[in-house]
Amino acid sequence: MAVITGASKGLGKAMALALGGAGVRLALASRDLALLETVAGEARTAGMEALVVQTDVTSEAEVARLAGAVREKFGGVDIIINNAGVNVRKPMTEFTLEEWRRVMDTNLTGAFLACRALVPLMKGRGGGRVINLTSIMSHTALPGRTAYASSKAGLLGFTKALALELAPEGINVVGISPGPFATEMNAPLMNNPEASAQFLSRIPLGRWGQPEEVAKLVVYLCSAEAAFITGTDILMDGGWCAQ
């Protein structure tokens, strides 16, 4: 079974439905209960099993409640997808401490809290997968992304260290670094013709990525065929970081 944070929309929704379509039982977590229920409804209509747990990944208590609900419903965990994330775009000197902490707490500390609560439910099951959504901003940067890039670079380091810790358990830990994808988080850029054109000009393949493309990669990484992949990060960016 798989726990997916940030499962109410975008990449999280696409990954959840793809894993469910591959026969994986789902625990969907997000702050937005209404959207979560919508995703769960789609999953159940397609014959998938889906548990909904409203969760703010920055809250230690709420993440513990998520782990408890998963333990009660499924008994254990096979896959953790740390996808919940936020971005604040502005010059570093204009950041408030609250904004900085919100980005770091969601993108980095949230993954720590989820893994600390859920990894014990993976051990002793013959293996498992932890997939962290890192972003190209863990490899490169743009102006106005100091908090986001810092959080994602930290998540990449977390991914590598955790992979070494969990390798003796047969649990693989992998990062996926999406580039510009057509998600709600990037809607402000996509809906701004000038900003969208600027981004597209920097993508060698000349288009925005589609959430389903990341979802298919996740299904592969969670399969037996990917059992020798751990402690690394896979760029999926249309060639952005190759420049």
- Cα separation, 197 vs 216, whole angstroms: 27
Give residue 77's identity as a one-letter amino acid code. V
- Cα separation, 115 vs 105, whole angstroms: 14
Neighbours of 120 (CB within 10 A): 13
Quick one: CA torsion of 216, 72, 62, 174, rounded to 10 degrees?
-30
Q: Tokens representing 214?
A: 């990341």
> Of 85, 4, 86, nearest to 43 (Cα)?
4
Q: Using the 8-state DSSP alphabet, how is residue 12 labeled?
A: H
**DSSP 3-state assignment of 22?**
coil
- Cα separation, 21 vs 9, whole angstroms: 17
Q: Tokens representing 186?
A: 């990037």
- State the catalytic residues: 148
